A = this chain, B = another copy of it.
Amino acid sequence: MKTTALIMAGGRGERFWPKSRKQTPKQFLCLTDPEKTMIQSTVERILPLVAAEDIFIATNRDYKALVREQLPEIPEENILCEPMARNTAPCIGWGATAIRKKYGEAVMLVLPSDHMITQPELFRNILRKAVNIAETTDALVTLGIAPTGPDTGYGYIQYTSGTMEKYADAFRVKRFVEKPDLETAKTYVKSGEYLWNSGMFIWKTSAILRETEELLPENYALLTQMEEAMGTPEEEKRIEELFGKMKAISIDYGVMEQAKDVYVLPSSFGWDDVGSWLAVERMSTADTEGNVIRGDAVTVSSRRCIVQGGDRLIAAVGLEDIIIVDTKDALLVCSKDHAGEIRKVPEILRTGNRTELL
């Protein structure tokens, strides 16, 4: 059976302002690798398993040119340009429909475009296992990461001790939970029943579309209409119309939470969802004072800072746990423990109609 992939690349990445902008969000930046953007790394990682022409990219209309530029090996017709954001269930439904239309039945990897994986070989090993399960069953498979601490930046998956009969490391999922508060996260980790939700899924097109039909019937009806419109002269117009009518809901809550055969593969491949500038520190080598510096910088009496330079010299004097991100037209200085508030800056700029800085 053919293995295909749907890479989700529609995010705005506002937690990475000011490097990440509306016109060039996080997945199109070199955040974790100075040579490759995050989406380029995502594609490169799976090429040993999936041919380039079988990789689909779901993105926002505005990013089509960026996808073509950064991923010239992906066929243009595989770029699914969402006319508006509708969360992950409609996006994945469209991807599954497009793959069904092109190949009929196929295995489908659903992957975020903006995560980091330090051990790609281990990642592919897990994917091979997941593909095998998906091919031979109707299960919806997700990858879960054993938590190393009560991180409040991740969603969690609660699993049961029951495994698949044939695949002893695929555990039945009990429920998906969104990012918890610290106390709740601590009880999750202590219980030993929770994994971090990686947002990666593996299944057959028939399996996910059948569950979508059952759990989100209105969306499914719109998807079949979209499938009919594909390849016709009205495709773009019809898709805008139909996609806009979709119920905006995440795949976790819309489908996975209530589907019958949902399994999680506990995985370990050096994963990080790169959810904020703090991730840049986790995945970089610090100097002897614990500073992580990219670009031209001088530090004096400064410790544990994250400096992402632009064209200019940055001097950090007497700073601890401060994030400095410099770009041509905007500069961010933020304390690490307020990194979650970075997204308020684009909000304020939007209110002030300063679109040039978004």
With A301-B338, A338-B301 known as contacts, the answer to whether A330 contacts B344 (CB < 8 A) is: no
Asked whether, in the complex, the Cβ of A333 is within 8 Å of the Cβ of B316, the reply is yes
Contact with B along A321-344 (1 / 0, CB 8 A): 010101111111111011101101
Q: Are B300 and A315 in contact (CB under 8 A)?
A: no
How far, in angstroms, from A338 to B300 measured CA to CA in the complex? 9
Task: Check A13 for interface membership: any CB of B closer than 8 A.
Answer: no
In the complex, how many angstroms separate the beta carbon of A334 from the nearest chain B beta carbon? Answer: 4
Please tell me if the beta carbons of A317 and B331 are within 8 angstroms of each other in the complex.
no
Report yes or no: B341 in contact with A301, Cβ–Cβ below 8 A.
yes
**Cα A342 to Cα B319 with chains together (Å):** 12
Contacts of A354 in B (CB 8 A): 313
The answer to whether A345 has its CB under 8 Å from any CB of chain B is yes
Q: Is the Cβ of B341 less than 8 Å from the Cβ of A313? A: no
Partner of A331, one of B313, B322, B338, B357: B313
Q: Which residue of B lies closest to A324 (CB)?
A: B333
List the number of copies, as a whole number: 2
Encoded as 1 (CB less than 8 Å from any B CB) or 0, chain A from 85 to 115 comes to 0000000000000000000000000000000
* Interface size counted on chain A using CB atoms at 8 A: 38
Chain B residues whose CB sits within 8 angstroms of the CB of A312 once the complex forms? 327-331
Q: Per-residue 0/1 for A7-25: is the Cβ within 8 Å of any B Cβ (1 yes, 0 no)? A: 0000000000110000000
Q: Counting CB contacts under 8 A, is A66 at the interface?
A: no
Shortest Cβ gap from A21 to chain B (Å): 12
Bound Cα distance A118, B32 (Å): 51
Cα–Cα distance between A316 and B338 once the two chains are bound (Å): 10
* Complex CA–CA separation, A190 to B225 (angstroms): 86
Interface positions, chain A 48-73, Cβ under 8 Å from B, are none
Known: A300-B338, A335-B318. A329 touches B348 (CB 8 A): no
* 6 closest A-B pairs by CB: A318-B338, A317-B334, A318-B335, A313-B330, A315-B345, A300-B344
Additional 18 contacts, C-beta under 8 A, given A313-B331, A315-B334 = A298-B349, A300-B345, A301-B338, A314-B330, A314-B331, A315-B333, A315-B342, A317-B333, A317-B335, A317-B339, A317-B342, A317-B345, A318-B338, A319-B334, A320-B335, A322-B333, A326-B331, A331-B331
11 A-B pairs whose Cβ atoms sit less than 8 Å apart in the complex: A17-B315, A18-B313, A298-B348, A312-B329, A313-B354, A317-B332, A317-B344, A317-B345, A319-B335, A320-B335, A324-B331
